[in-house]
């Protein structure tokens, strides 16, 4: 039906999806970084470092981090581009972006932080050399529109990096399901007082396009030479594409 979208395993109106995703991140913002470390046993740091490495940004380049949240990727990119470069953090959610801005200031960096929807980026065409989106695309209502927006703001030859949960290798699926549907909500309840938000995390991962589908979506949105790097047996994948 037109105007519907997935919110985890539920079908909801697009309006409701955006409202409920916003609600999840409002609630988890305070415990977000601690939960990331606990849930991934610190692995998310290595996944992010890998994404930044394969982005191959050079000093002086302009980087846009979409759905930046608490800003891990943005800060790592800022170190790479140096004082002659520019990194801008964006997120639709004020609570997440505020934490990202505070953490960035605490680390001695001052980066522009813009609250906006990835589906309507308030930037001119071709204004960045690299765009990244880490664990954000999954939550977007119209992923195709968001990918097209990321292509629009990139210069020709610029790179898009999508770091996202993906489809785990088949033999590991039962164990991963057990972890996702039992351990994550339990941990969410104990640490963040919110089992539902972490049940949504597990469900939204299952609903997200697999490696091949996302690569095809990126090609359709205007990217070429799309490459996929599987991490942790496909629990996470980095997709890299070049703007045509």
Ligand X SMILES: C[S@@+](CC[C@H](N)C(=O)[O-])C[C@H]1O[C@@H](n2cnc3c(N)ncnc32)[C@H](O)[C@@H]1O
Q: How many residues bind ligand X (CB under 6 A)?
A: 20
CA distances from 67 to 61, 93, 97, 186 (A): 19, 8, 9, 26
Shortest Å distance, C-beta 175 to ligand X: 22
> What is the footprint of ligand X within residues 22-61 (CB under 6 A)?
25
CA distance 80 to 123: 22
> What is the footprint of ligand X within residues 156-195 (CB under 6 A)?
none
Shortest Å distance, C-beta 117 to ligand X: 5
48 or 243: CB nearest ligand X: 48
27-48: burial string, b at 16+ Cβ within 10 Å, e else: bbbebbbebbebbeeeebeebb
Shortest Å distance, C-beta 96 to ligand X: 4
Residue 218 binding ligand X, by CB under 6 A: no
Residue 21 binding ligand X, by CB under 6 A: yes
30 or 224: CB nearest ligand X: 30
CA distance 242 to 159: 5
Q: Cβ-closest residue to ligand X?
A: 69
118 or 215: CB nearest ligand X: 118
Under 8 Å between Cβ of 199 and 184? yes
Shortest Å distance, C-beta 10 to ligand X: 17
34 or 244: CB nearest ligand X: 34
Residue 136 binding ligand X, by CB under 6 A: yes
> What is the footprint of ligand X within residues 59-118 (CB under 6 A)?
67-70, 72-73, 91-93, 96, 117-118
Where helices occur in the chain by DSSP H, the ranges are: 14-28, 32-40, 43-55, 72-81, 94-106, 143-153, 173-178, 184-187, 195-207, 211-220
At 32, phi and psi to the nearest 5? -55, -50
96 or 228: CB nearest ligand X: 96
Neighbouring CB atoms inside 10 A of 98's CB total 15
Shortest Å distance, C-beta 225 to ligand X: 24
Select the residue interacting with ligand X from 77, 123, 128, 135 (CB under 6 A).
135
CA geometry: angle 96, 99, 102, nearest 5 deg: 150
The residues binding ligand X (CB under 6 A) are 21, 25, 67-70, 72-73, 91-93, 96, 117-119, 134-136, 139-140
């Amino acid at each position: 039906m037109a105007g519907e979208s997935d919110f985890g395993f539920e079908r909801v109106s697009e309006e409701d999806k955006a409202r409920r995703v916003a609600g999840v991140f409002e609630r988890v913002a305070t415990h977000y970084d601690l939960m990331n470390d606990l849930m991934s046993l610190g692995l998310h740091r290595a996944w992010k470092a890998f994404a930044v490495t394969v982005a191959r940004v050079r000093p002086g380049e302009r980087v846009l981090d979409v759905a930046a949240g608490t800003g891990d990727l943005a800060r790592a990119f800022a170190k790479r581009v140096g004082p002659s470069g520019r990194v801008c953090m964006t997120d639709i959610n004020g609570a997440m972006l505020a934490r990202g801005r505070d953490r960035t200031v605490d680390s001695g960096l001052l980066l522009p932080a813009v609250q906006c929807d990835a589906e309507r980026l308030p930037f001119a065409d071709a204004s960045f050399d690299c765009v990244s989106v880490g664990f954000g695309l999954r939550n977007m209502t119209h992923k195709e529109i968001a990918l097209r927006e990321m292509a629009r703001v990139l210069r020709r030859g610029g790179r898009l990096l999508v770091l996202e949960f993906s489809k785990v290798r088949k033999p590991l699926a039962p164990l991963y399901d057990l972890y996702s549907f039992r351990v994550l909500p339990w941990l969410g309840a104990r640490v963040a007082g919110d089992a539902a938000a972490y049940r949504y995390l597990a469900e939204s991962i299952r609903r997200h396009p697999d490696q091949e589908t996302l690569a095809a979506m990126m090609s359709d949105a205007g990217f070429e030479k799309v490459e996929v790097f599987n991490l942790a047996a496909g629990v996470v994948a980095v997709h890299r594409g070049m703007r045509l």
